[in-house]
Amino acid sequence: MSRCRGSIARAACVFLLCCFLRPAYAQTFTLSGKVNDTAGHPIPGATVSAKSIASGKTYTARTNANGMYSILDLSSGDYQVWAAAGELQSPPIKVSLAAAQTTDLTLSPAPSAGENLPNAPPQQKSETNPASPSLSDLGFTTQQTQSNAQLQATLARRTEMLKIHQRLGIITTIPMAAALITGPMAKAKGKNGEVIHEPTDANLDLHVALGGLTTALYFTTAGYAIFAPRIPNNPKHGGIRWHEALAWVHGPGMVLTPVLGYMAYSQENSGEKPHGIAAQHGTVAYVTAIAYGTAIVAVSWPIHLKFWEKK
């Protein structure tokens, strides 16, 4: 018995150890920073290299118009990092990567072959054609080539919010469909007064709960789209326009449906057949659901189902 308990404890320890160790192996980091010349001017188009001392593998990135670089997905460990641009080069520095790190590099004229620094990366003979074209030869405007870290951060925040909007939006379809299905079961009488179903408390409660859940999920979903950051100078076209236009149908519908539902419920409770605008509760709910479904299809268009194809 005690041996058995010991084995279970050992297995649990191994399992826990695996759980703790696994993420450590999979974790990667970003090495980023700025490349300047000795006067502090940013150097666009410089090649930044990070050579893993353990594996010998070299990872490269190029600086943007502001001299910024990012080398992504580096494993933890020691790296030799240097930058080069034409005749300019930075002395290699050792970087121990254990978290995302910022390392700025300064370029100065490369030393001649005789004055190579110890442990310097192998010098590559430049084979650049002196007449080879550069980005500045192509006539792009500064606005087009300028890096914009703030816009990148805004885009990231926007994408994150819209991802939640998308997931919640799809989840919302489940209680919405269930509320539509349970709707007739919560009704006392049909159009001509015939008894459809006895509106038991259970049926009504279920329908009201599903309706309430749908409404709560719907407005949470909508909030993630409404409050997602806007990107200026970006006229909309494509399926997103239909997606947004249809919100003017299902949005008011989602406000109106529970209100009409409450009115119909009150009328039935007082022994009346739902009448007036309250009688349209079901119709409004169906129109709302159709507009909602169409909005999902519009933003997913064009749909080509190819699940049967081999990957």
Q: Using CB under 8 A as the criterion, which residues of the chain lie in contact with other proteins when the complex forms? A: 47, 60-62, 64-65, 68-70, 72-73, 127, 129, 131-135, 137-140, 144-149, 151-152, 154-156, 158-159, 162, 166, 170, 231, 234-240, 243, 299-300, 302-307, 309, 311
Asked whether 77 and 54 are in contact (CB, 8 A), the reply is yes
Q: Can you name the residues that pair with 34 across neighbouring β-strands? A: 68
| Smallest distance from other proteins to CB 137, Å | 5
> Is the CB of 15 or the CB of 140 nearer to other proteins?
140
| Smallest distance from other proteins to CB 229, Å | 10
> Is the CB of 47 or the CB of 203 nearer to other proteins?
47
> Is the CB of 7 or the CB of 58 nearer to other proteins?
58
| Smallest distance from other proteins to CB 118, Å | 27
> Is the CB of 3 or the CB of 306 nearer to other proteins?
306
| Smallest distance from other proteins to CB 129, Å | 5
> Is the CB of 10 or the CB of 163 nearer to other proteins?
163
Q: Can you name the residues that pair with 85 across neighbouring β-strands? A: 88
Number of residues written out for the chain:
311
- The maximal CA–CA distance of the chain, rounded, in angstroms, is 102
CB atoms within 10 A of CB 93: 12
| Smallest distance from other proteins to CB 86, Å | 14
> Is the CB of 98 or the CB of 149 nearer to other proteins?
149
| Smallest distance from other proteins to CB 196, Å | 36
